[in-house]
Structure 1
Amino acid sequence: MMETAIASPPADRIAFDDFLKVDIRVGEVVRAEPFPEARKPAYKLTIDFGPEVGIKRSSAQITRHYTLDQLNGRKVAAVVNFAPRQIGPFMSEVLTLGFPDADGEVVLVGVDRDATIGGRLF
């Protein structure tokens, strides 16, 4: 079994209704750009979540494992109902999801089949 440098205890138990409040959708990266103004290395992502949610932007600290070319057309999972967050000069509208590797660097949550853009996690 692989050990990880980023271990944490489980979060407090929540009710299923609390989970349903978090709107996690699959989207497709339509544009990935450098974000040199970020404090930590990051990219600016423009993600299409389909007609119900629309096109949203996200700042993602994923430069260690991904190049800009690898991100265009990639499907990602993101929380789409958090309030927008100002990241330097950039307004991040969604939280792109990932897990830490052994060094604490972000590995994106993957979609391994052709999921419908805008589909909600269940």
Structure 2
Amino acid sequence: MHVNHSHEEPAAQEITFDDFLKVDIRVGVIVSADDFPEARNPAYKLVIDFGPAIGEKKSCAQIVANYQRAELVGRQVAAVVNFPPRQIGPAMSEVLTLGFADEAGEVVLFAPDSAVPIGSRLF
């Protein structure tokens, strides 16, 4: 198992505000979470609704250590919505669901601390 020690790394190279604005991070709500037994590392296949402007998108997320499938549906999450789709084994991941590594290197999802309209953009 790979343990992520990103909390021990210095800040990344400085970027401009315009660089930041190129990354489109939106809030969505998970509408389904399915097992993904074909994945190299334990993962779920998520469908996340980002509202009418973006719609429902698929994401493969390695979050099985900290989340049960049943608790994910209805949960708000943040994701990068403007990366090109990426093939993950037999599945296509259309957005990058965001999280941080806990002490064990497992993903903890990133989300607002109170509900916001789906499709809202991080700024």
| TM-score when normalising by structure 2 | 0.94
- Runs of 4+ residues deviating >6 angstroms: none
Gaps of 5+ in 2: none
Q: Deviations over 1:91-112 (max 9, x none)?
A: 0000000000011110000221
Residue 74 (structure 1) aligns with: 75
Residue 25 (structure 1) aligns with: 26
1:64 partner SS: coil
Amino acid at match of 1:83: P
Residue 118 (structure 2) aligns with: 117
Residue 55 (structure 2) aligns with: 54
Measure, in 2, the Cα distance between the counterparts of 1:15 and 1:28: 30
What is the aligned-residue identity percentage? 64
Residue 90 (structure 1) aligns with: 91
Across the aligned residues of Structure 1 and Structure 2, the Cα RMSD in angstroms comes to 1.2
Measure, in 1, the Cα distance between the counterparts of 2:67 and 2:9: 25
Is the counterpart of residue 100 in structure 1 residue 101 in structure 2? yes
Residues matched between the structures, number: 119
Structure 1 segment 7-46 matched on structure 2, within 5 A = 7-46=8-47
Is the counterpart of residue 64 in structure 1 residue 65 in structure 2? yes
Gaps of 5+ in 1: none
| TM-score when normalising by structure 1 | 0.95
Amino acid at match of 1:65: N
